[in-house]
Amino acid sequence: MTAACVLIADISGSTPLYEKLGNTAALAEINRCLESLKEVISQTGGEFVSSKGDDVLALFDGPNNALTASIEMLRRHAEDVLSIHAGIYWGEMVHSNENVYGKPVYTAARLASLAKPGEVLLGDQCFQMLSPENKAMLTPIGTLHLKGKPKPTEVHSYVQVGSAFVHTVTMHPRAMRIERDSYALLSCGDRKWRISEGEIFTIGRAEDCTFSLPEAWVSRQHARLTVTRGLVELVDHSSTGSFVINGDQSEIEICRQSIALTGAGSISLGVPHSEPAAMPISFEIAEIRARPPA
């Protein structure tokens, strides 16, 4: 086994591109983008390993080079129809049949799937190995329970300047903080879920989503719901949008945006609640404890 830094960079926006340009022209544009990503990997000292569809997997000797590469990827495609999002993780892995396998690979893949267009997410050990200058460019977004990992991971974010997706972090004096244990209860048909503090619930057409909806109007990684420091947030990553009825409010459409969920309501992916094809996901937000820190 060898230790290295895994970078997985994924292309966003390919589905609407096929609809706009047609199969041949869209595929040519995607291939051009993939070749650009491979060029960045080579120029920043990385080793290209493989590509599956719209992503690239590369290895670096450390997270500083991996972060440099990912930032350059974001910069090159900041004005393109196609955008980039990426995940970076460090650890030991196994080489087999010209590919790599192990915890850092699937964790980097999970981080890439959670990153918004124009964003890079890094795991805790990667952050600790970065130079002070690179650490200063990142924003902590909390401890997340990633699917397939028994322990929570502290995640940091880099967002491309000018991106519409910027994490807003509000800091409060310690004396003013309230510790809360909030959770979200979700249901769709006869299926039910409870999402607790630090957990992530993913919804989309992809089979590895927490809740997979194999419908044409649902994106592969359509949306995610998180509970962080008592805030329950729905983030839409799709091209068709999510329709939210939040408490007693009227229906709100979000597309590649986020919204805080409160009270009880429902979420419809890709189509309004009024459409016959809608499959609403009901939610209820509850707080089981609120107390000032000792």
Q: Considering its fold, how many domains does the chain have in total?
A: 2
Asked if the structure places residue 280 within a domain, the reply is: yes
**Is the same domain home to 194 and 242?**
yes
**For strand 200-204 and strand 223-228, is the pairing parallel, antiparallel, or unpaired?**
antiparallel
Asked if the structure places residue 169 within a domain, the reply is: no
Asked if the structure places residue 171 within a domain, the reply is: no
Q: How many residues does the structure list for the chain? A: 294
Is 200:147 a contact under the CB 8 Å cutoff?
yes
Query: What would the DSSP string read from start to end of 153-198?
Result: EEEEEEE-TT-S---------GGG--EEEEEEEEEETTEEEEEETT
The phi and psi torsions of 263 (rounded to 5 degrees) equal: 65, -130
Q: What CATH number has the domain bearing residue 20?
A: 3.30.70.1230
Domain end call among 109, 133, 159: 159
Domain end call among 129, 159, 189: 159
* Residue 155 to residues 71, 110, 142, 257, 281, Cα–Cα distance (Å): 17, 12, 6, 20, 27
Its domain, for residue 52, covers: 2-159
**Is the same domain home to 184 and 269?**
yes
Phi-psi region of 104 (alpha: psi -120 to 50; beta: other; left: phi over 0): alpha
Beta bridge partners of 120: 86, 158
And the tokens for 258? 């986020």
Asked if the structure places residue 120 within a domain, the reply is: yes
**Is the same domain home to 196 and 283?**
yes
Is 133:71 a contact under the CB 8 Å cutoff?
no
**Is the same domain home to 26 and 131?**
yes
Per-residue pLDDT tens listing for the chain (294 residues): 689 999 999 998 887 788 888 889 888 989 999 999 999 999 999 999 999 888 999 999 999 999 999 999 998 887 777 889 999 999 998 988 888 988 899 889 988 888 888 889 999 889 999 999 999 888 877 667 666 667 777 888 888 754 444 443 333 333 333 345 678 999 999 999 999 888 899 999 988 899 999 998 999 889 999 988 778 899 998 878 999 998 767 889 888 888 888 889 999 999 999 999 999 999 998 865 444 444
Domain end call among 134, 159, 184: 159
**Is the same domain home to 98 and 209?**
no
And the tokens for 212? 């997979």
Asked if the structure places residue 164 within a domain, the reply is: no
pTM of the model: 0.58
**Is the same domain home to 136 and 206?**
no
**Is the same domain home to 133 and 195?**
no
Residue 233 one-letter amino acid: E
**Is the same domain home to 231 and 146?**
no
